[in-house]
């Protein structure tokens, strides 16, 4: 395992332990988002592309009056210098929770690293990594920075 992957795993484990020891961050907001995610999965099932789930989830969030922004560009810097490249998380809900959608059979370290980097770039603390490709139900992983 490369040093980078080991570091990401170690950070992820540390965050998971920290989360269990602390009161759940944004509990009510996450509960509302999870309800919308599970409704989309109940309606659509497994097997569609990520873009389909994103469109459905956006509709469901609107129906539930959950505030969100889709594909907001996050500015990146390197040693204090702005980069041309930008990050675009799928959704930012309640102006404080990043929701990153996947439609794959299994989430990988790279998927977890992606949301971890979105959190670092945005300055936000909580991300939800959602996999609509998981059967028999959508899988949601909380990632805390």
Q: Are 82 and 113 in contact (CB under 8 A)?
A: no
* Rounded average pLDDT over 19-32: 80
Report strand pairing: 126-131 vs 97-102: parallel
Q: How far apart are CA 133 and CA 118, in angstroms?
A: 21
**pLDDT at residue number 2:** 47
Average pLDDT over residues 45-74: 96
- pLDDT digits over 109-124, tens only? 999 999 999 998 888 9
Q: Domain extents for the chain?
A: 3-144
Mean per-residue pLDDT, 87-112: 95
Identify which of 25, 40, 55, 56 has the alpha carbon closest to the alpha carbon of residue 127: 25
Q: Does the pTM of the predicted model rise above 0.75? A: yes
pLDDT of residue 13 exceeding 70: no
The label of the residue with tokens 């965050």 reads 15
How many residues appear in the chain? 145
Q: How far apart are the first and last CA of the chain?
A: 23
pLDDT at residue 5 is higher than 50: no
pLDDT of residue 22: 53
């Amino acid at each position: 395992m490369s040093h980078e992957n080991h570091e990401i795993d170690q950070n992820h484990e540390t965050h998971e332990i920290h989360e269990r020891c602390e009161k759940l961050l944004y509990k009510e907001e996450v509960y509302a988002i999870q309800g919308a995610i599970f409704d989309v999965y109940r309606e659509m099932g497994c097997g569609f592309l990520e873009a389909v789930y994103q469109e459905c989830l956006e509709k469901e969030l609107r129906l539930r009056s959950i505030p969100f922004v889709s594909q907001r560009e996050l500015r990146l810097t390197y040693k204090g210098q702005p980069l041309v490249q930008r990050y675009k998380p799928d959704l930012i809900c309640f102006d404080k929770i990043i929701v990153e959608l996947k439609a794959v059979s299994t989430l990988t370290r790279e998927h977890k690293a992606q949301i971890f980097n979105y959190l670092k770039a945005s300055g936000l603390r909580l991300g939800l990594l959602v996999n609509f490709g998981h059967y028999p139900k959508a899988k949601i992983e909380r990632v805390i920075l």
